Amino acid sequence: MTPTALFADLHREAIALGGARLFTVSVQDNAAGLALRAYTSDPAAYPLSVPKPIQQDDWSRRVLIEGQPFIANTTAEFAPYFFDHAQINALGCHSAANLPVVDGGQVLGTLNILDVEGHFTPDRVAALQAMIARRLPEIAAAMRSVPMGASVFAARLARLRVRMVEAGVDLVALAPGAHLRWLVGVSPFADERPCVALIGHRGAGFLMPRLNADDVRQHTDWPFWEWGDDAGPGAALAEALASLGPIGSISLDETMRADHALLLIDALPGVTRSFAATTVGHLRLRKDAAEIAALRENARIADKAQAALRAAIRPGVTEEDLAEAARAAFIAEGAVPEFTIVGAGANGAFPHHHTGQTVVQPGDALVCDIGARKDGYYSDITRMAVCGPLPEGYAEVHAVVDAAVAAALAAIRPGVRARDIDAAARGVITAAGYGDYFTHRTGHGVGQEIHEPPYITGVSDVVLEPGMVFTIEPGIYLPGRFGIRLEEIAVVTETGCEILSTLSRAVHVAS
Q: Is the pLDDT of residue 113 over 90?
A: yes
Rounded CA-CA distance 119/95 in Å is: 7
For 129-159, give the DSSP string.
HHHHHHTHHHHHHHHHTS-----HHHHHHHH
pLDDT of residue 86: 83
Number of residues written out for the chain: 511
Task: Name the band, by pLDDT with cuts 50, 70 and 90, for residue 147.
Answer: confident
The mean per-residue pLDDT over the stretch 91-115 comes to: 94
The mean per-residue pLDDT over the stretch 78-104 comes to: 89
Alpha helices of 25-84 — where are they, by DSSP H? Answer: 58-60, 75-78
Q: What is the pLDDT of residues 299-337, one digit of tens each?
A: 999 999 999 999 999 999 999 999 999 999 999 999 999
pLDDT of residue 441: 98
pLDDT of residue 202: 79
List the domains of the chain with CATH numbers.
Answer: 3-144 (3.30.450.40), 152-284 (3.40.350.10), 289-510 (3.90.230.10)
The mean per-residue pLDDT over the stretch 397-402 comes to: 98
Which amino acid belongs to residue 233?
Answer: P
The mean per-residue pLDDT over the stretch 144-155 comes to: 78
Q: Is the pLDDT of residue 259 over 90?
A: yes
Q: Is the pLDDT of residue 149 over 70?
A: no
Rounded CA-CA distance 7/19 in Å is: 15
Q: What is the pLDDT of residues 162-183, one digit of tens each?
A: 889 889 999 999 999 999 999 9
Q: Model pTM? A: 0.78
Rounded CA-CA distance 195/200 in Å is: 16
Burial of 336 (0-12, 13-18, 19+ CB in 10 A): exposed
Rounded CA-CA distance 315/317 in Å is: 6
* Comparison of pLDDT for 105 and 30, the residue scoring more: 105
Q: What is the pLDDT of residues 39-70, one digit of tens each?
A: 999 988 888 876 777 877 889 889 999 999 99
pLDDT of residue 48: 80
Task: Name the band, by pLDDT with cuts 50, 70 and 90, for residue 71.
Answer: very high
> Does residue 454 have a cis bond before it (omega within 30 degrees)?
yes
The mean per-residue pLDDT over the stretch 356-361 comes to: 97
Q: What is the pLDDT of residues 17-34, one digit of tens each?
A: 988 899 999 999 887 778
pLDDT of residue 352: 95
Degrees (nearest 5) of the Cα angle 167, 262, 213?
90
Element spanning 407, H or E: helix 394-411
* CA nearest to 437, candidates 482, 382, 471, 476: 476
Question: For residue 474, what are the CA distances in angstroms to 113, 378, 434?
Answer: 57, 19, 11
Q: Is the pLDDT of residue 151 over 80?
A: no
Q: Is the pLDDT of residue 443 over 80?
A: yes
Q: Is the pLDDT of residue 78 over 90?
A: no
Rounded CA-CA distance 230/241 in Å is: 21
Q: What mean pLDDT value characterizes the chain?
A: 94
